[in-house]
Amino acid sequence: MGSNRSLKFFLFTILCLIWGSSFILMKRGLDAFTPAQVAAIRMTVAFLCLLPFVIGHIRLVPRHKWKYIILAGALGNGIPAVLFTTAETRVPSSVAGMLNSLTPVFTLIVGILFYRYRPGLIRTAGIFLGLAGASLIVLHSGQDGIGNQKIYSFYILLACILYSIDTYILNFNLADLKSIDIAGFALIPVGLVAGCYLFSTDFTWRLAHTPGAAKSLAAAGLLGALGTATAQALFNKMLKISSPLFASSVTYCIPFVALLWGMLDHEKISALHIAGFTITLAGIALVNRRMGEP
């Protein structure tokens, strides 16, 4: 029990670092490519990274599981990848990371509505406290915040809703499969579609003629290898040893990493961001408090 507790907090930390860095990688990918191209590069690279590890296990997957695998690939990878890159054409990377922290509240709502999940008052309070901290960060993100970019911010909120649904699909419908297999299988249909789309666009022309395209490709490729392939396998593993609520709470820490990258990229940070961090940390402490559930 103690080893599982240590492992889940280790995975929690690694995922925060990887996913928190994803937003700046998206931003760098957009320097040379369109939002859909960056998303397609991400999905294609992630698919190719995991394929060698899972190709031999495909026959072991029961047929009735494939509908959930395809759904997990679309909701947890493909559609959110496009939504986030589209949003980041107008929303700063640090703000995108902050908005991503809203995922746990949607996870709670989905759990209550469809899975009869009862987190208890303390954990529920932790979610809303974390949400309040995230809201404070977002509302004081300067002129480039969400105030005048509502439609683009909505894309991120929609992605968060899809992530929350995907969390329960992974936990309740695919829990008997290995973590890396789930991640790899889910990326097969998404990766094939993304690869076909990518090379039907002007991707190769941009790569050859756009200044800095090689760096943008490297950023999008790293996003796929780490932010999708590696992170998804680790997230699936964390789901197996914790709960959907705990797993989704990783999004509370992502803004810290995203903001650090934003500072390095000269995005504006205020004292109110620090206040939001403090409130968010308090929410994480309540959400992760042990209450008879691992």
Mind listing the pLDDT tens digit for each residue in 54-89? 998 888 888 899 999 999 999 999 999 999 999 999
Residues 170/72, Cβ–Cβ less than 8 Å: yes
Q: Which residue has the higher pLDDT, 56 or 252?
A: 56
Question: Is 293 a member of any domain?
Answer: no
Tokens of 50: 């995991």
Question: Is 294 a member of any domain?
Answer: no
pLDDT at 146 over 80: no
pLDDT at 3: 63
Say what percent of the chain tops pLDDT 90. Answer: 39
pLDDT at 149: 58
Give tens-digit pLDDT for 187-198: 999 999 999 999
Question: Is 252 a member of any domain?
Answer: yes
Q: What is the torsional sign of CA 163, 167, 168, 172? A: positive
Please give the Cα distance from 184 to 73 (Å, whole number): 9
Question: Is 36 a member of any domain?
Answer: yes
Question: Is 192 a member of any domain?
Answer: yes
Sequence-ordered list of residues with C-beta below 8 angstroms from that of 93, at least 6 positions apart, any chain: 23, 24, 26, 27, 258, 261, 262, 265, 267
pLDDT at 245: 65
Residues 127-148: b if buried by 16+ CB within 10 A, e if exposed = bebbbebbbbbbebbeeebbee
Total-model pTM: 0.84
Provide mean pLDDT across the span 91-100. Answer: 81
Please give the Cα distance from 64 to 233 (Å, whole number): 21
Domain count of the chain?
1
Provide mean pLDDT across the span 89-114. Answer: 81
Residues 175/240, Cβ–Cβ less than 8 Å: yes
Of the spans 7-11, 132-136, 143-147, which averages the highest pLDDT? Answer: 7-11
pLDDT band at 137 (very low <50, low <70, confident <90, very high): low
Tokens of 224: 């796929």
Question: Is 59 a member of any domain?
Answer: yes
Question: Is 28 a member of any domain?
Answer: yes
pLDDT at 289: 62
Q: Which domain holds residue 157?
A: 2-287
